[in-house]
Amino acid sequence: RPKIGQGDFDTKTSKVEKFLSDGHKVKITIMFRGREVYHPELGREILERVAENVETVGKVDQFPKLDGRNMTMVLSPDKAAKQRRKNTEEIPSE
């Protein structure tokens, strides 16, 4: 739903990060009900916030798209980001 609390948003985002770091694709769907469908910009803002928060582990595969009463976005693991994290973990900090 387009109206989500900050705690719920953080929980969903951390789950998305975990799936992406495990190498899985993630499809995020926002369902609009009633008059909410007339404000798709609210759903787009939420999906863009998710994409910004997980850009260290994933990238946008399919940008937000409205399909009837649902808006979906697909994220996939970013291999370059994974390699960068692996390289920084291998270098010990002194």
Question: Token pair for residue 10?
Answer: 């953080």
Question: Per the structure block, which two tokens stand in for 5?
Answer: 């609390």
Kindly tell me if the per-residue pLDDT of 80 is higher than 80. Answer: no
CA 33 and chain centroid, separation: 21
Confidence of residue 37 (pLDDT cuts 50, 70, 90): confident
pLDDT computed for residue 39 by the predictor: 85
Query: Taking 70 as the threshold, does the pLDDT of residue 60 lie above it?
Result: yes
Superfamily name with CATH number, domain 6-90: Translation initiation factor 3 (IF-3), C-terminal domain (3.30.110.10)
Instruction: Name the residue ranges covered by the structural domains of the chain.
Output: 6-90
- The per-residue pLDDT for 4 is 85
Candidates 60, 78, 74, 62; CA nearest to 23 is 78
> How far is residue 73's CA from residue 51's CA, in Å, rounded to a whole number?
9
Q: Does the model's pTM come out above 0.95?
A: no
Distance separating alpha carbons of residues 41 and 85, to the nearest angstrom: 33
d(CA 40, CA 36): 7
